[in-house]
Amino acid sequence: MVIDFYKLHGLGNDMIVIDDREGRISPAEMPRVARKLCNRRLGVGGDCLLVARGSDIADISMLVYNSDGTQAQMCGNGIRCFSRVVYEEGWIPFDGFSVETLSGVKRPQLLLMDGQVKAVRVDMGVPSFLTGDIPMECDSEEFIRRPIVSADREFIATAVNTGIPQLVVFVDDVRSLDIEKYGLPLEHHEFFPEKTNVSFVEIEDRRSVILRTWERGCGATLCCGTGAAAVAAACIKSGLTDRVVNVRVPLGSLRIEWDGEGSIYMSGPAEKVFYGKAFI
């Protein structure tokens, strides 16, 4: 089968978008398709595959598959990129629409310039710190600024769900940290039955933090939207930053806003890379 694909990135977190609203690809085949397309030597290359499907509760639905073929509930950078393709390709011909994901219905707000999407603001929902919601198996209702061990080192961390499980790990010098050494064990830590994303964060000041990301099913990535939301939520929850936070990553920054109670909002770019056809 030959399919059209769109390659985009959100601050270096790259992904492939395909249109399967007609349901030509069976759910059983999706993991194989994701592994094939995301392979950086034998395929298009990407951190994840985003699949457009129809929806009974929203204007369109987005399925997320990691590069290893596992399915994720949500992708923060992904929904910005997905929304740009949906609008600019005319799959939905208006700039306000709803997207069904496995973590609920999201409503992206598109910033347009000359008919093209320049940035996207997304209501990411209400972050949950309850260990049962994350899910996390530990002896407390919340896991906020508590010790956790990875490899040969103890860290202070906060767990939160911002669409998928997230562990926010506080460090003094994030740039020099070996995130593969510590990220992989934390992803598979016994506390997390469904594994977890790991966000290593260094606080610069009340309005700015630096993020490096380890994503479950992908490994180290240049950016993670749900991770940026988790970092901001964890910092705001503990009074470490103001309620508007610039989360800096190697290729830019995401703006995260949270009032401490309701939905958390993420704003950032979605850049096109190329379009093509692929054999699957």
How is 130-182 classified by DSSP, letter by letter?
BTTTTT--SSSSB--SEEEEETTEEEEEEEEESSSEEEEEE-S-GGG--HHHH
Q: What is the pLDDT along the chain (280 residues), one digit of tens a residue?
A: 999 999 999 999 999 999 999 999 999 999 999 999 999 999 999 999 999 999 999 999 999 999 999 999 999 999 999 999 999 999 998 888 999 999 999 999 999 988 889 999 999 999 999 999 999 999 999 999 999 999 989 999 999 999 999 999 999 999 999 999 999 999 999 999 999 999 999 999 999 999 999 999 999 999 999 999 999 999 999 999 999 999 999 999 999 999 999 999 999 999 999 999 999 9
**75 an active-site residue?**
yes
Strand 116-123 and strand 108-113: the pairing is: antiparallel
Asked whether residue 140 is domain-assigned, the answer is no
> What is the structure's pLDDT at 218?
94
235 catalytic per annotation: no
Residue 89 lies inside a defined structural domain of this protein: yes
Choice among 48, 75, 81, 218 that is catalytic: 75
Q: How far apart are CA 193 and CA 98, in angstroms?
A: 30
CATH number for the domain harbouring residue 50? 3.10.310.10
Residues 243 and 274 occupy one common structural domain: no
Measured from the Cβ of residue 257, the count of other Cβ atoms closer than 10 Å reads 17
86 and 166 assigned to the same domain: no
- Domain of 162 in residue numbering reads as 146-262
In a shared domain, residues 219 and 273: no
Q: Pick the catalytic residue from 38, 218, 223, 224.
A: 224
* Residue 156 included in any domain: yes
Q: Is residue 40 part of a domain?
A: yes
113 shares a domain with 154: no
Domain co-membership, 165 together with 257: yes
What are the start-end ranges of the H helices in 188-260? 225-237
* Residue 202 is assigned to a structural domain of this protein: yes
Q: What is the per-residue pLDDT across 196-205, written as a single tens digit (0 to 9) for each? A: 999 999 999 9
pTM of the model: 0.94
Number of domain units in the chain: 2
| Whether residue 234 sits in one domain with residue 160 | yes
* Residue 179 covered by a domain: yes
Please give the pLDDT value at position 4: 98
Per-residue model confidence (pLDDT) at position 96: 87
Say yes or no: 73 and 89 in one domain: yes
The SS3 assignment for 34 reads helix
Are 109 and 156 part of one and the same domain? no
Question: How many percent of the chain have pLDDT more than 90?
Answer: 96
